Structure 1
Amino acid sequence: MEYSDDFLRAVLDSVDVGVAVIEGDGTIFFVNDRWITFGQRNGVPDTVQWLGVNYLTVCEEAAETGDCLALEAVQGIKQVLNSGRHSFSLEYPCHSDEEKRWFMMRVSCLVSDGKRFCVLSHQNITERKLAEEKVLNLSRQDGLTGLYNRRYFDEFYKQEWNRCLRQSLPITLVLLDIDHFKSVNDIYGHQMGDQHLRSVAQCANSFAKRSSDICARYGGEEFALVLGNTTAEEAAVLATRLVLAVETLDIPNETSPVSPVLTISAGVVTRVPDTSIQKESLIEEADRLLYLAKKKGRNQLCTANIGSVQRKAEETLI
């Protein structure tokens, strides 16, 4: 039985996977409905016509912003197009501010009328990745506070930096430290000190509400908040609320020269990443601002909004 082109197109449109066919030079020859709707749900304007777009060029432009997975995709697709391999697959994150998502890109060779094509598909694998992440979280957690540990902070911060780099979004880092915490352990004992650490950790963690946010134990009595797609103004408001929230926990610290209750100091820095700087520079700046907040009397925060062109930090004491 022979089937018409319309029937075969209807079959491809019915599958719950985005499918595209690209020619040997990378030009998109065909896309199904799922491919189009996925793009529209992820910020691609309705007016974009996929046919004729060079998919390799799109990936190469993403790679130029520091997206190493996009570069890996380009290399894999080219190998399939150039007969180096029959198929290629790649798992990649595609998180939004509201949710975590992962997809699997599969590339396979198609030969028709003597011409070589690539069939690309993108399948949502979020459910499986979330299940795997639950298992991984056991190794990512700090045993005392239940927050993410320093190891996962480093991993998440790198991912969020790269996401904000690709999408030209601001990223905020907050480093906070409990003021005169040694006196808590000295007077009330380490067991009570551990309990107070957990209380502060729980309070700080309540400010990391989106999939683009995390709160981690950075070391000792120091914590870190990564806030993706957060402006300097939003970060200053949030961090100010956090400083006040810890103080209103009313945890005794009677010998502290700052306050008879437990307080924190914080350094807050925001910028839109670009390829001219290293992601570690944000950590260094937040640490410097934290030290400055302590030097100026503690129980407060210092902020800096670093522009992508003018790099000089404008410091504000709050």
Structure 2
Amino acid sequence: MKLPTKTLLLLLVITAMSFSSAIYIQRTFVYPELVELEAKADRKDVQRVAIGFDMVRNVINTLAYDYGVWDDTFEFLANPSEQYIASNLGIDNFLRHDFDVAILADRDGNIVWYGYVDLAAERFFPPDAYNPEELRPYFADPYRTRPGAPLSNSGIVNTTKGPLIFSSYSVLKSDETGESRGSLLFGRHVDQSIAEEVQDIVKMDFSFATLTPGENQQLKGKNLSWQYRDNNNRMDWYLRDIFDDPILTLSVQLDERAFNDSLIGKPILTALAVMMVSWMIIIITLNRVLVKPILKIGKHLFHIRSTGDYSARLNYRGNDEVGDLGNECDLLIQFIEVQQDELEKQSEKLHRLSIEDGLTGLANRRRFDQTLNSYWEISEREKYPLVLLMCDIDFFKQYNDHYGHQQGDEAIQAVAEVLRSATNRKTDLAARYGGEEFAVLLPNTEIEGAEIIAQRIHSLIKEKAIPHQLSTVSEELTMCVGIGISRNHSEIGKDELIEQADKALYLAKAAGRNQTAIYHDTDLIKKRANEVTS
């Protein structure tokens, strides 16, 4: 064989080997990493859609709690009245809060009242258009109790009218005491309006379809694994019902693929053409201009995947196609970082909703309990006192009955604004304890400081000048404040501190309201009249 032929064969072998190596590196290291990074971002996008549906359920859950744990609803189940329905469950209430099913049942599950609304037509359906009995199994059990909170049940179920997002609460008094008188269930059927609402929340386009009974039976009990996007950049997933069985198919439209997945790209073709010109040059330079950069990109992507640091950038400085690939990798990683940040913001928002009272913006009961535990440990370690103020609006039930639920909410919001203004230290915590009752934690504070805060609360309430015609102590809205203090945590516990403040609050009410009472460590209650004067 002649030398030129050998040279040509050698060139062909080297070219084939180089070409094969480039394809192998791309498909073995770079492309799989890109696909996995893309798949992670896609799954987070789909999870964002599921979170959007969960946020709709949380809204219905909050509404069901507000109606279920309420004296008016508690009284209605004992004495049903058209006035309650007209004031609280009229067509305007359904439209304003975006729910289309409401059911009230007694302790035995007998339907006391129900309503089914056509939200699009803004009217009630005829009574025979809906069978509320099919939702009986999902009522919160009124015969069971749970210390410190009402029983509830929520999720998605399939009905004869289609999938329903619902929430049910046992009906209790506003202070969550006593036995339940029955159950309340609010729901909203899954339709295009909910899909549009979720799309506005998550800023993504998707469609949904209800699974047929046959499809549901096939998928029931199966451990479904994540899929990859299809050729149309769509990914399907399933929304599950309260039995953890698939009920809805979600088809999410994803953004266009951020990288080129073709088998042979411009970099490889360019390298092949150069190798045809001079195999010696290609042999010498191939490792520097092609293999090493691709390996660097693959290593960089592997580092990002293994560490989760999406802020890292390759910053590849190249004017050729490998440089374009590096830049595309950076753009893809930047896109994933943005999606990650958005998901974290959504998670942060959900976390904030879990520790804040939705009506007032103050800390809710859960955050109050967490903060009390934290402050208790710190004050016990640092040997400083911890003060608790329990505040209650005087005659608020009469206020709510006279002025209505909406104005009652506005009054509670005004009181919350007063508590925010009265507690000006970053460590002070004002919380909505339940209904019209509030709690204020004052770390490293003595009784004198607590009295100043209490007096400030009374003064600011008086400045609000909120009319209260049914109050027997004033023509304006007033509050009672009970003060408890712990200086020696070895003698009393957190529950005793709350009990102190509650007893002091009771004394303030018994003494005529619109004043502050203090519980002292000697177990003697001392009333200090702080009636607000002009």
Question: Which TM-score applies when normalising by structure 1?
Answer: 0.55
Which of 221, 224, 230 aligns to 2:439? It is 224
2:473, 2:433 → 1: CA distance? 23
Amino acid at match of 1:139: S
1:125-144 counterparts in 2 under 5 A? 136-144=351-359
Q: Secondary structure at the match of 1:230?
A: coil
> Does 1 or 2 have the higher relative contact order (CA < 8 Å, sep 6+)?
1
Is 1:283 equivalent to 2:498 in the alignment?
yes
Do the aligned residues in 1 keep the contact of 2:394 with 2:514 (CA within 8 Å)? yes
Shift of 1:233: 0.8
Q: Which residue of 1 aligns with 2:523?
A: 312
Do the aligned residues in 2 keep the contact of 1:303 with 1:317 (CA within 8 Å)? yes
Which of 361, 379, 382 aligns to 1:164? It is 379
Deviations 1:21-72 (A, max 9, x none): xxxxxxxxxxxxxxxxxxxxxxxxxxxxxxxxxxxxxxxxxxxxxxxxxxxx
2:348, 2:453 → 1: CA distance? 28
Larger helix fraction of residues: 2
Is 1:180 equivalent to 2:395 in the alignment?
yes
Is 1:236 equivalent to 2:451 in the alignment?
yes
1:133, 1:245 → 2: CA distance? 33
Shift of 1:253: 0.4
Deviations 1:87-143 (A, max 9, x none): xxxxxxxxxxxxxxxxxxxxxxxxxxxxxxxxxxxxxxxxxxxx9987633210111
How well do the aligned residues superpose, as a CA RMSD in angstroms? 1.8
Q: Secondary structure at the match of 2:452?
A: helix
- Identical counterparts, % of pairs: 42
Shift of 1:244: 2.2
Amino acid at match of 1:315: K
Is 1:150 equivalent to 2:359 in the alignment?
no
Do the aligned residues in 2 keep the contact of 1:212 with 1:229 (CA within 8 Å)? no
Do the aligned residues in 2 keep the contact of 1:265 with 1:298 (CA within 8 Å)? yes
Larger strand fraction of residues: 1
Which of 472, 493, 504 aligns to 1:257? It is 472
Q: Secondary structure at the match of 2:464?
A: coil
Question: Which TM-score applies when normalising by structure 2?
Answer: 0.33
Which of 407, 411, 421 aligns to 1:192? It is 407
Q: Secondary structure at the match of 2:388?
A: strand
Shift of 1:221: 0.2
1:178, 1:251 → 2: CA distance? 12
Shift of 1:150: 0.6
2:400, 2:525 → 1: CA distance? 36
Q: Secondary structure at the match of 2:422?
A: coil
Q: Which residue of 1 aligns with 2:430?
A: 215
Which of 299, 310, 314 aligns to 2:514? It is 299
2:456, 2:504 → 1: CA distance? 18
Number of equivalenced pairs: 184
**Unmatched tracts of structure 1, length 5 or more:** 1-130
Amino acid at match of 1:221: E
1:137, 1:237 → 2: CA distance? 30
Structure possessing the higher radius of gyration over alpha carbons: 2
Is 1:270 equivalent to 2:485 in the alignment?
yes
Shift of 1:238: 1.4
2:421, 2:456 → 1: CA distance? 11
* 1:277–1:218 Cα change, 3 Å: same
